[in-house]
Chain A
Amino acid sequence: EDKVVQSPLSLVVHEGDTVTLNCSYEVTNFRSLLWYKQEKKAPTFLFMLTSSGIEKKSGRLSSILDKKELSSILNITATQTGDSAIYLCAVGPYSGGGADGLTFGKGTHLIIQP
């Protein structure tokens, strides 16, 4: 059974701090790892990392995939109160016959204090 573990489960920091969120996974036939941000209801896509794209960056957010360690980190620099959200990590297997469902971790609840 595919498994995704995120840590920490919750984190409170002050505005301007840098945070690192962790995700480790066990999946049969790994294809991709995705990060989502969930503020109220709908998760919104941040990054997708694959064997051919192990590092992504967008503004203050960046992510790295370590296929050897079966893990990924999401970094947020110069945090702002608008970064407060639940950050979800998900992995997708390669079934060979089409797409299967992503397996999500429980998420990291990040709170940025002014």
Chain B
Amino acid sequence: GAGVSQTPSNKVTEKGKYVELRCDPISGHTALYWYRQSLGQGPEFLIYFQGTGAADDSGLPNDRFFAVRPEGSVSTLKIQRTERGDSAVYLCASSFGWAGELFFGEGSRLTVL
């Protein structure tokens, strides 16, 4: 596609539920990043993929968070047993290798009640 596409744009769930957030990067971009942005804060790095493998997952806050990119394109961020503190906008970005310039999607706003 023309840009990074994220779905859903909004997700409201109840505490304890499981959620999946999807990211479709720009075609041909090998690098894919997940960030989380809370109100009044800058984006916080979660995980980075180069191809199919997670090259750096040091930003994942705990083992409830997991992300996959099985075919080196679309990625899914999975959150188990959601907590109210997980509420945030989850941003996905892609780039062609490490070019420095990340292209961001519009984000998925997650609200945990």
Contacts and interface: CB of A to CB of B under 8 A. Distances in A.
B100 A103 contact: no
Q: Is the interface of A mostly helix, strand, loop or mixed?
A: strand
B91 A88 contact: no
A44 B59 CA distance: 22
Contacts of B41: 106-107
B70 interface: no
A90 B44 CA distance: 10
Contacts of B4: 42
B44 A104 contact: yes
B50 to A, nearest CB: 6
Contacts of A90: 42-43
A104 B55 CA distance: 19
Contacts of A82: none
Given A42-B91, A107-B42, A101 B104 contact: no
A105 B50 contact: no
Given A98-B50, A101-B33, A34 B100 contact: yes
Interface of B: 4, 31, 33, 35, 40-48, 50, 55-56, 58-59, 89, 91, 95, 97-98, 100-107
22 contacts: A4-B42, A34-B100, A41-B106, A42-B104, A43-B91, A44-B104, A45-B103, A50-B100, A88-B42, A90-B42, A98-B50, A99-B48, A99-B50, A99-B56, A99-B95, A101-B33, A101-B46, A101-B47, A101-B48, A101-B59, A102-B45, A106-B41
